[in-house]
Amino acid sequence: MRNMEDLPEFYPSMSLRLSRALSDIGVNSWMVKRRRRTFLMLEVGRTIGEKQEGRDVTTFHFGSQSEGTTTPGLNSDVDELVCFNKINIMASWSEWKFGRINYLMVKEETCSPQHYLLQEIRPDSPEPAINPSNIYSVVDRNGRVLHANIETRDVIKKLSEQFNSPYYSNGPSHSISEMFDFVQAYRSRSLPPECLQWFERPRPSNWPTPELFREVRECGCFLVPDGHFNSLDKDVEWRITPSLIERTLMFSMKTLQLKCYVVLKILKSHFINPCLNNKGKLTSFHCKTALFFAAEGMPPGMWEEDRLMECIVYCLKMLLGWANTGMCPHYIVAGVNLFHGKFTNPQLKNLTEILSNIIENHLSILACIQADDLGNRIVITHIRTVRYSEGCRISTNNSTCRWISVFAHFAMNKDLLEILSMTPDLMPEQMSTFLGLYFQTVCTLSFGLPFPLREICFRYTSKLILSVLASTAASCCIWNGYNVPRNILSLFESSLHTDVASSRLKLASFFFCHNELERAADVLNDVERRYDDSVQAVCGCGRMDPFETKHHKPLCTNSVVDNDDVLLTNNTALCVRYMRQEVFCAPPILRYEMVRGIGVDINHRDRNEQKWMKWAVVDALPYLYYLQYLTFRGLGQRIGRLQAFINLGNCFLDHSFYSQLFHRTTFYNLLGHCLEMERKPEKALQLYRASVEEKPRNNAAHWHIYRLNHGYEI
C-alpha cells in the first residue's frame, strides 16, 4: 500500500462522497442492524415451524441479506441453510452417541481439500455399519458404508417436476426459486484440523480480537452436500464450511468495512464479471475473503470514512495478487484454493488486466455504475447540499425498510400457513390444544433470541395464534347458539396488532355474523382510517413474490426510519384467512371458497395451493369494503352501502389497487355477490363467468353460476 502522500489528493474527498452515497442506498449502521435483526428473527420463526411439523432441524440465514451487505441494485437472493439436528457428526470416535444416526468424518488421501467422506456408524454400538441403511447409502471399494450427498438434489428435483417449477442448482444449493438458495447441512461441533490452524497462525493486527476468537470456537462447522468438481467420488464427498464463524466475523465488522465489501461486490457484479464474458466468474465469497484478510492485515486507523478509497484499493490489490499467482486462499480453512475450478490461466490473465485497470484509474468506473443510481449519487453528494442528501437517504432507507418488512411478514405468515395446514380435520377443542403446543414452542425457541428481538418475535407470533384461536372459539359458540363469553372477545382484542387490517377484519366479521352490526361498523370504520395509501398488501399463501418490488407502495412518511420494529405492522395488510374451524365467523359467501374444488380440480393445485385452498382466503382491502357493504346494508344506511359498493368496484378498475390483489377470483365473487344484492343478477353472472374464464379450475364462481341459473340466493 502506498503512503498517504503518494495517493491522489482527491482520495479523501472522494472517499467521503462514496461513503455518503453508500449510506444513501442502505449501507449504513441503521439499515445493517435492521436487516440482521429481521433475518435472525426469521431464522427462529422458520425453526419453530419445522419443530412444530415434527422435523428436528435448525434454520440459518447466511449471506448478504442477513449480514446487511447488499443494496436493491445487487438483487441478492436469500440463503437458507437447514441443519438436521438428528444427525450426529463424529470428528472422532469419542463423539459417538447411542441411539443417534452417527456419521464419522473420514479424510482420505484422495479427498480434495475441504472435503470429507461420511461413514455410517451403528446407533447401538460404536462400530462401522455393515449394511446400507437407505437408498442414499453407498458401499465403497473398501467395504465402508458411506452417506451420499445427493438426497437434497433428488428431493428438490422431484418437487420441481411434480409442480412444474424450474430447478436451480449451484454447488450445495438446490431450489425451485431463483431468489432462494436452499442448502441441507449437518453440523460438527468440533472444528476439523484445517480450521484449527486458523486460530494459531500469527497476525499483524489485533483482529479478530481474543473475545471474538473465544466466541467463534463454539460455532463448529457445517458439512454441506458438495463434492469437489474434479473428484471421482464427488457424490459421496461433503464439504466443510465454517459459515457461522464467517457470519460472526461479519457481524463484528465496522460499517465502513461493510461499505468496502459492498463496493467490491458492486464492481464484481456490474463491471468485472460482465467484462469476463462469463468466462470465469469472480464471486462474492472471493470479495469477502479479501475483506477478511484486509481487516486482519490493515492497521485499525485505516478504517476511517475519509480513507474508504484506500481500503477498497487495498482489497483490489489483494485480489490482483491472487489472480497473478492463481491462488486465492480460504481465510479460515487451510489448504484451499478458491480460484481452483473457477478460472483457467487465460481467464486469470484477463481478470488481472481488469483489476489492474480499475486500480490504475482510481475506481473512476464507479461514476458509471447505474445500479442504485450510484454514479449519480456520488456526483450529487458533491454538488448538492447535505440536506438534500439526507432526504435522499431517508427516502431510500424507507424503500429498503418497506421491502424488509414485507419480506418478514411474508415469511412469518408463510410459516404459520405451513403449521395450520396440518389441522384440516381437528375439532375446535383439538385445535385449541394444537395451538397451545405451538405457542409453547414459540416461547421456548424465541427465548434464545437477543432482546428486543425475543419480544418482537414472541409478540407478533402470539398475536397471529390468538387471532386464529379467538375466531375458532367464536365460530363454535355461534354454531351452538351460545352467548360469546367475554374471554373470547379479549382474545380478539389481544390479537388486533398483527397488521393494519386482517385481525380487525376478522373481529368485524365475527360481529357481523353475531348480528352486532353497530360494533362491526365501528371496527370497519377504524380499519378504513388506518388503511392509508402507504399500506402494502402482503400474501403469505405463495401467490406473492416478495422480491417483486415494482408494485410496492412508497411509504408516505419519513418517520418510519426511526421505528425499531422490524415488522412495521402499521404499514402492512395481510390477507384474511378462515379455516374450516372458523367457518361461522365468515360471511356465507366465503363458505363457498372452502369447497371451490370440483371433481378433479383438487389434482390441479400447486404445492402452496394444496395447503390453503380448503380455506377461505381474501385480500384485506376488498374484504373491508365487502364487509362494509353488508354491514351498512343491514343497518339500512344507504349512502354508506353505496359508497362501499363503489369502493369495491374501484379495486377492480384502479390498477394500483388491482396490482395489490393476490386472491382475485375470491374478489370477483365478493363483487359479484354485491351485484346480486343490488338486483343486478345479469351483471353478477357475467362477472362470475369472466372469473371462470380466467381460472377454470378451483374457482368457487362455478357454485355461484349454478346458484343464479337455478334461482338460489345467499
- pLDDT band (50, 70, 90) for residue 553: low
- pLDDT band (50, 70, 90) for residue 707: very high
Distance from CA of residue 371 to its chain's centroid?
Answer: 22
Number of C-beta neighbours around residue 119 at 10 A: 20
Q: Can you tell me the mean pLDDT for 330-356?
A: 95
Q: Can you tell me the mean pLDDT for 81-101?
A: 96
C-beta of residue 500 within 8 angstroms of C-beta of residue 531: yes
- pLDDT band (50, 70, 90) for residue 563: low
Q: Can you tell me the mean pLDDT for 311-321?
A: 98
Q: Can you tell me the mean pLDDT for 458-484?
A: 92
What are the E-state strand segments in 525-655?
536-538, 572-574, 576-578, 616-618
Which of residues 494 and 558 earns the better pLDDT score?
494
pLDDT of residue 298: 93
Residue type, 201: R
Distance CA 215, CA 226 (A): 27
- Helix (H, G, I), strand (E, B), or coil: what is residue 64? helix
User: What is the per-residue pLDDT across 647-667, written as a single tens digit (0 to 9) for each?
Assistant: 999 998 888 888 889 999 999
Does 285 have pLDDT greater than 50? Answer: yes
Distance CA 40, CA 42 (A): 5
626: which 3 cell numbers? 365487502
Does 384 have pLDDT greater than 60? Answer: no
Which of residues 607 and 318 earns the better pLDDT score?
318
- pLDDT band (50, 70, 90) for residue 2: very low
Distance CA 583, CA 194 (A): 59
Q: Can you tell me the mean pLDDT for 301-321?
A: 96
What percent of the chain lies above the pLDDT cut of 90?
71
pLDDT of residue 395: 58
pLDDT of residue 402: 87
Q: Which residue in this structure is represented by grid cell 377492480?
A: 652
DSSP string, 509-571: HHHHHTT-HHHHHHHHHHHHHH--TT-EEE--SS---TT--TTPPPPS-SGGGG---TT-GGG
Q: Can you tell me the mean pLDDT for 134-138?
A: 92
26: which 3 cell numbers? 442502505
Q: Can you tell me the mean pLDDT for 432-436?
A: 88
- pLDDT band (50, 70, 90) for residue 606: confident
- pLDDT band (50, 70, 90) for residue 257: very high
Does 72 have pLDDT greater than 60? Answer: yes
DSSP string, 438-463: HHHHHHHHHTTSPTTHHHHHHHHHHH
C-beta of residue 121 within 8 angstroms of C-beta of residue 208: no
Average pLDDT across the chain, whole number: 90
Number of C-beta neighbours around residue 8 at 10 A: 9
Does 385 have pLDDT greater than 50? Answer: no
Distance CA 533, CA 554 (A): 9
What are the C-alpha distances in Å from 224 to residues 188, 244, 654?
11, 13, 48
What are the C-alpha distances in Å from 583 to residues 224, 426, 530, 669?
45, 13, 26, 17
Which of residues 201 and 567 earns the better pLDDT score?
201
The 8-class DSSP code of residue 105 comes to E
417: which 3 cell numbers? 400457513
Is the bond into 208 cis (omega within 30 degrees of 0)?
yes
pLDDT of residue 138: 94
Which is it for strands 221-224 and 180-188: parallel, antiparallel or unpaired? Answer: antiparallel
User: What is the per-residue pLDDT across 395-430, written as a single tens digit (0 to 9) for each?
Assistant: 567 788 889 999 999 999 999 999 999 888 888 888
- pLDDT band (50, 70, 90) for residue 311: very high
- pLDDT band (50, 70, 90) for residue 164: confident
Domains of the chain and any CATH numbers: 4-27+69-384 (1.10.1410.40)
362: which 3 cell numbers? 482510481
Q: Can you tell me the mean pLDDT for 138-148?
A: 94
- Helix (H, G, I), strand (E, B), or coil: what is residue 371? helix
Candidates 713, 612, 709, 629; CA nearest to 671 is 629
Q: Which residue in this structure is represented by grid cell 429481521?
A: 38
DSSP string, 685-709: HHHHHHHHHH--SS-THHHHHHHHH
- pLDDT band (50, 70, 90) for residue 554: low
Distance CA 104, CA 118 (A): 5
pLDDT of residue 361: 95
Candidates 624, 621, 623; CA nearest to 524 is 624
pLDDT of residue 71: 94
pLDDT of residue 399: 83
User: What is the per-residue pLDDT across 104-124, written as a single tens digit (0 to 9) for each?
Assistant: 999 988 888 899 999 999 999
Does 597 have pLDDT greater than 60? Answer: yes
